[in-house]
């Protein structure tokens, strides 16, 4: 299993990202591509703060060639997809990620 982040700068409080000049980092896209290429199961799970710097869109563009092969988490609350694993209830499941 390989886990990558939307941003190379990692924080527990997402408001901290806005204080960092370059939270994505120069090589983050390279490592995302490498991890996804090598992974058998591809799961996205960035949660509610994905729109900062439109990073969700940038990463989804990187993953275009994997369309139809990407999963995400959901749970009985049915809240925002893709759910971050830390925010899931025990009844979570994987579903196909829908590019919208």
Domain ranges of the chain: 14-96
Note the pLDDT tens digit of each residue in 3-29.
Answer: 788 899 988 888 888 899 999 999 999
What is the average pLDDT across 38-58? 82
Residues in the chain: 100
* pLDDT given for residue 27 in this prediction: 94
Q: What is the CA radius of gyration of the chain?
A: 13
pTM of the full structure: 0.78
Q: How far is it, in rounded angstroms, from Cα 50 to Cα 17? A: 11
Residue 68's pLDDT band (boundaries 50, 70, 90)? Answer: confident
Percentage with pLDDT > 70 across the chain: 89
* pLDDT given for residue 81 in this prediction: 67
DSSP letter, residue 90: T
Mean model confidence pLDDT for the chain: 83
Are 53 and 23 in contact, with CB atoms under 8 Å apart?
yes
Are 97 and 66 in contact, with CB atoms under 8 Å apart?
no
Q: At what angle do helices 55-62 and 28-38 cross, to 10 degrees?
A: 50
């Amino acid at each position: 299993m390989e886990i990558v982040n939307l941003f190379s700068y990692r924080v527990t409080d997402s408001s901290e990202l806005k204080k960092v000049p370059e939270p994505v980092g120069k090589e983050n896209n390279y490592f995302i591509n490498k991890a996804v290429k090598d992974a058998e199961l591809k799961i996205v799970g960035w949660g509610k703060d994905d729109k900062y710097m439109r990073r969700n869109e940038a990463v989804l563009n990187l993953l275009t060639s994997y369309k139809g092969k990407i999963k995400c988490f959901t749970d009985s609350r049915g809240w925002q997809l893709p759910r971050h694993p830390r925010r899931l209830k025990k009844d979570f499941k994987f579903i196909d990620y829908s590019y919208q």
